[in-house]
Amino acid sequence: MSILQTEDPEISKLINAELARQQDGLEMIPSENFTSRAVMEAMGSVLTNKYSEGYPGARYYGGNKFIDEVENLTRDRAKQLFGVAHANVQPYSGSPANLAIYFALLDPGDTVLGMDLAQGGHLTHGYKFNFSGKFFHAENYGVDQKTHLLDYDAIREKAKAVKPKMIICGATAYPRIIDFQKFRAIADEVGAYLVADISHISGLVIAGEHPSPVHYADVVMTTTHKTLRGPRGAMILLPKVADRYHDQYHPKTKRDLAGLVDAAIMPGLQGGPHNHQTAAIAVALKEAATPEFKTYGKQIVKNAKKLAETLVAEGITLITGGTDNHLILMDVSPLGLTGSQAETLLDSVDITVNKNLIPYDPRKPMDPSGIRLGTPALTTRGFTEDDMVAVGKTIAAVLKAPDNETVLSVARMAVEKLTDAHPLYS
As annotated, the active-site residues are 51, 53, 197, 223, 226, 232
> Residue 166 to residues 61, 119, 139: CA-CA distances in angstroms?
35, 19, 10
Say which amino acid occupies 76.
D
Closest-by-Cβ residue to ligand DSN is 31
- Spatial contact of 16 and 363, defined as CB atoms under 8 Å apart: no
Strand partners of residue 330 = 318, 371
Q: What beta strand segments (E) does 207-262 contain?
A: 219-223, 234-239
What are the DSSP calls for 62-119, one per residue? Answer: S--HHHHHHHHHHHHHHHHHHTEEEEE---SSHHHHHHHHHHHH--TT-EEEEE-GGG
To ligand DSN, the closest distance from the beta carbon of 148 in angstroms equals: 18
Of the pair 182, 232, the CB lying nearest ligand DSN is at 232
Q: Which residues bind ligand DSN (CB under 6 A)?
A: 31, 94, 122, 172
- Spatial contact of 160 and 133, defined as CB atoms under 8 Å apart: no
- Separation between Cα atoms, residue 237 and residue 380, nearest integer Å: 25
- Separation between Cα atoms, residue 319 and residue 149, nearest integer Å: 9
To ligand DSN, the closest distance from the beta carbon of 31 in angstroms equals: 3
CB atoms within 10 A of CB 299: 21
- Separation between Cα atoms, residue 233 and residue 274, nearest integer Å: 9
Of the pair 67, 89, the CB lying nearest ligand DSN is at 89
To ligand DSN, the closest distance from the beta carbon of 172 in angstroms equals: 4
Hey, is 222 helix, strand or coil?
strand
- Separation between Cα atoms, residue 120 and residue 5, nearest integer Å: 41
